[in-house]
Amino acid sequence: MPILRSAFIALSRNRPLRHFFEHSAVGTRLNRRFIAGMEIEDALRVAEAVNRQGIAVTLDSLGESVTSESEAHLAAEVYHRLLESIQKLGLNANVSVKLTQMGLEQSAELAESIAGELARHASAMQNFMRIDMEDSRLTQITLDIVRRIHARAGMRDAIGVVIQAYLYRSQADVEQLLIEGIRIRLCKGAYNEPPEVAFPRKAEVDVSFLKLAQLVLDNPFYHALATHDESMVNAVKAYAEEHRIDPARFEFQMLYGVRRDLQRKLVAQGYKVRVYVPFGREWYPYFMRRLAERPANVLFLARNIFRS
């Protein structure tokens, strides 16, 4: 299984394949399960439908690693429009942003300036922006940028970040972020990382996830536990119950199209759930990372393609 995971992650970086899939009808048919659609309107429609099930949303305009400053500004424009639309439509939704889409690989100053503007807009709308975490080369700079924006006046509730339980450094990062009052989304981590920086085995990642989940749950700020792993979900629920932590103080997060049964079950049990809804034309790397997490999805997708 780890070989398949690495293979899909390697494929996620394959440019010719990406071009082919993102521009073909087969590709569009393939991605329907995990992607809300190509346009903002598709995402807003899906967000409304998800909200009707009592589930909150975070919207992700797909795209990473832009190649110029103007592309970064265009990508940010989509998020500004999203923040306006969320408010206009009264959606229970916030936004998730990748700093490489905001120009981080061009210059850290550019990404910080664009993300700072977005956080200001989110704050003016009484909304929230989550900075997704990318591969470990970018962990430190991502945390630095989030910290600096968070420290600006009026930004305390407008920006949060993601911590990946597979990184050895994450416990220290969580402890520091909790001191600073920065909201965390805890996940296991989706990239191919070497054993020098990340736990190589799933069992170790799971232990780390639960240890960090407990730190986050013990903290009074509102944090998120992002996983589809039912054993993690059950362990979080058990810890919260045992320590009398009000379920309104945290949320579970899952990806659009993944474990919808579990999402619904948690809502029925009175837990808060938020679904990460990606949309846009640049869906290929995101999609391949989802296959890496669960190669069985390939069979599921193949059946759907050949059925329709």
Positions in the binding site for ligand FDA (CB under 6 A): 132-133, 162, 164, 187-191, 226-229, 253-255, 258-259, 276, 290, 293-294, 297
- The residue from 132, 173, 183, 206 that is catalytic is 132
Residues in the chain: 308
Tell me whether residue 124 or residue 189 sits nearer to ligand FDA (CB atom): 189
Decide: residue 109, CB within 10 A, 0-12 exposed, 13-18 middle, 19+ buried.
Answer: exposed
Helix, strand, coil % (nearest 5) of the chain?
55, 15, 30
Min. distance of Cβ 31 from ligand FDA in angstroms? 13
Annotated catalytic residue 132: yes
Min. distance of Cβ 275 from ligand FDA in angstroms? 7
The residue assigned the tokens 């799971």 is: 206
List helix spans (H) across 168-295: 170-180, 202-217, 230-242, 260-268, 284-293
Annotated catalytic residue 137: no
- The residue from 185, 274, 289, 290 that is catalytic is 185
Tell me whether residue 25 or residue 208 sits nearer to ligand FDA (CB atom): 208
Min. distance of Cβ 294 from ligand FDA in angstroms? 4
Tell me whether residue 13 or residue 88 sits nearer to ligand FDA (CB atom): 13
Min. distance of Cβ 105 from ligand FDA in angstroms? 17
Q: Measured between alpha carbons, how far is 94 from 76 in angstroms, rounded to an integer?
A: 14
Q: Measured between alpha carbons, how far is 150 from 180 in angstroms, rounded to an integer?
A: 9
Name the residues annotated as catalytic. Answer: 132, 185
